[in-house]
Amino acid sequence: MKQHIDSAPSTPGKFKMEKSPYNRLRLHSSLAKLTFWSLFFLVLIYFFFFKSPSPSSSSSSSSLPSDLSRRSLRTSSYAGPNFEKRVRASAKIRSRTGISVLVTGAAGFVGTHVSAALKRRGDGVVGLDNFNDYYDPSLKRARQALLERSGVYIVEGDINDAVLVSKLFDIVPFTHVMHLAAQAGVRYAMENPGSYVHSNIAGLVSILEVCKNANPQPAIVWASSSSVYGLNTKVPFSEKDRTDQPASLYAATKKAGEEFAHTYNHIYGLSLTGLRFFTVYGPWGRPDMAYFFFTRDILKGKSIPIFEAANHGTVARDFTYIDDIVKGCLGALDTAEKSTGSGGKKKGVAQLRVFNLGNTSPVPVSDLVGILEKLLKVKAKRLVMKLPRNGDVQFTHANISLAEREIGYKPSTDLQTGLKKFVQWYLSYYENGKKAAQ
Ligand SMILES: O=C(O)[C@H]1O[C@H](OP(=O)(O)OP(=O)(O)OC[C@H]2O[C@@H](n3ccc(=O)[nH]c3=O)[C@H](O)[C@@H]2O)[C@H](O)[C@@H](O)[C@H]1O
């Protein structure tokens, strides 16, 4: 007789088990099932907890988008009331005309200065940064500490993590996005082209996708580059000039970004402003840039390579001081019109702009070294060499009349004044040269 499990007495001692071969068979099959399911769950646990990517992977990782989404979902710091509370507090607007801005790349050079300036005037600011190690991450952490003291919270995450970025939009209906996260540097593109594609192309598209789906859609201001002018020889560079001859992969990714901006504006009604930055320098700058590592190496007594073009031709840059760039960024944010789409659909024509943000007075690299020598009171060991085929162009020079007219951009810092401020910061940050920059 078959015994139903419910009819078995609850106290095993009073129940006499029948010892039939049929029962032994059932016992074996139950054991096999138990073993199978236990193994199955063990494998699942292994894949979820040991195989998924680490939450601190940098933007240069080649993880697939699905991995990135899983990373966001399982990272406890992105969940819960404490995380949301910090994001909301950081986004709080304190002035009557204030805006709420998501700043990507907030622990970067320009990102830190722009975030601080927005916060100072009463805007709501939330930062996003992946703290990758393209250059010394401790400098990024120091910038983060600076921003934290002024009330700006930087969420640690990647712009390719669409789940995380959407979550930020669920918490705060940002009116603006200042998209500055990128893989910078012209020469490094020959070493690691993948990281440029990952951040400047896939990352930009990821941000545009989230913004397109947001309700309301934010207006976006983002960092393009003077490098899009590439082999253009007409000076000064005007926004009307051709930009279809990039000299480096970095420039090509920024140019691609401008084309994506056009597409998202055209299809989805996103308001988009691209800013072509011209060799930005200043305190809290990037150690991979020439003025920064020239300073470090002059102080160390190391020789510095100074590039020159064919036939001793001058290599020059329209070096632009960070405070002027910040004013340009704020001017672009303040004049940005609203996006017109909603629910992922365009409802009308939206604003699409691109501006040069330069200084309009190019300086030869050898003169930059001369200024540094005077400020540091150390003679540089100059190693003049032919401009390598590394993506560098011979000169840059911005025409800024469009930015002046449309966003009130008026740079006011010459290279001598700006470098003086940089050197003061450098010496105090690195304890008068005792702690060496990496
Ligand atoms: O405007 C931009 O869009 C870009 O600006 C910046 O690129 P660049 O203008 O190339 O600045 P940077 O590297 O400081 O070289 C300065 C000068 O020193 C020369 N240079 C450089 C290295 C060296 O060893 N020797 C040398 O002479 C070199 O030939 C050049 O003439 C940003 O890094 C970039 O991310 C992007 O934002």
Q: Is 305 in the pocket of ligand 1 (CB under 6 A)?
A: yes
Contact 57, 164 (CB under 8 A): no
Q: pLDDT grade, residue 1 (50/70/90)?
A: very low
Ligand 1 pocket test target in 392, 394, 422 with most atoms within 8 Å of CB: 392
Across the range 163-186, mean pLDDT stands at: 98
Angle at which helices 365-376 and 290-300 cross, to 10°: 40
Burial class (CB in 10 A: 0-12, 13-18, 19+), 238: middle
Q: Is 78 in the pocket of ligand 1 (CB under 6 A)?
A: no
CA distance 173 to 179: 16
Asked if the ipTM is above 0.90, the reply is yes
CA distance 392 to 125: 35
> If you measure from the C-alpha of residue 152 to the centroid of ligand 1, how many angstroms do you get, rounded to a whole number?
30
250 a catalytic residue = yes
Ligand 1 pocket test target in 317, 359, 366 with most atoms within 8 Å of CB: 317
Q: Is 185 in the pocket of ligand 1 (CB under 6 A)?
A: yes
Angle at which helices 415-429 and 365-376 cross, to 10°: 50
Contact 417, 411 (CB under 8 A): no
Is the pLDDT assigned to residue 30 strictly greater than 80? no
Show me where the domains of the chain are located: 65-278+321-358+397-412
Is the pLDDT assigned to residue 355 strictly greater than 70? yes
| pLDDT tens sequence across 322-341 | 999 999 999 999 999 999 99
> If you measure from the C-alpha of residue 430 to the centroid of ligand 1, how many angstroms do you get, rounded to a whole number?
23
State the DSSP string of 366-425.
HHHHHHHHHHHT---EEEEEE--SSS--SB--B--HHHHHHH-------HHHHHHHHHHH
> If you measure from the C-alpha of residue 317 to the centroid of ligand 1, how many angstroms do you get, rounded to a whole number?
8
Average pLDDT over all residues of the chain? 87
Greatest alpha-carbon pair distance for the chain in Å reads 105
Contact 155, 164 (CB under 8 A): yes
CA distance 422 to 295: 10
CATH homologous superfamily of domain 65-278+321-358+397-412? NAD(P)-binding Rossmann-like Domain (3.40.50.720)
- What distance, in Å, lies between the first and last C-alpha atoms of the chain? 82
Is the pLDDT assigned to residue 417 strictly greater than 80? yes
Residue 185, CA distances (Å) to 153, 182, 251 in order: 26, 10, 10
Output helix, strand, coil percentages for the chain, rounded to the nearest 5.
Answer: 45, 15, 40
Q: Picking from 34-48, 76-90, 105-119, 239-253, which range would have the lowest pLDDT averaged per residue?
A: 34-48
Residue 35, CA distances (Å) to 40, 45, 47, 65, 197 in order: 9, 15, 19, 34, 46
Ligand 1 pocket test target in 186, 275, 302 with most atoms within 8 Å of CB: 186
> If you measure from the C-alpha of residue 290 to the centroid of ligand 1, how many angstroms do you get, rounded to a whole number?
6
Contact 101, 176 (CB under 8 A): yes
| pLDDT tens sequence across 89-132 | 999 999 999 999 999 999 999 999 999 999 999 999 999 999 99
Angle at which helices 249-268 and 204-213 cross, to 10°: 10
| Nearest protein CA to atom 8 of ligand 1, as residue | 279
The pTM for the full model equals 0.85
What are the b/e assignments for 278-310, b being 16+ CB within 10 Å? bbbbbbbbbeebbbbbbbbbbbeeeebebbbee
Is the pLDDT assigned to residue 50 strictly greater than 80? no
Contact 314, 362 (CB under 8 A): no
> If you measure from the C-alpha of residue 215 to the centroid of ligand 1, how many angstroms do you get, rounded to a whole number?
39
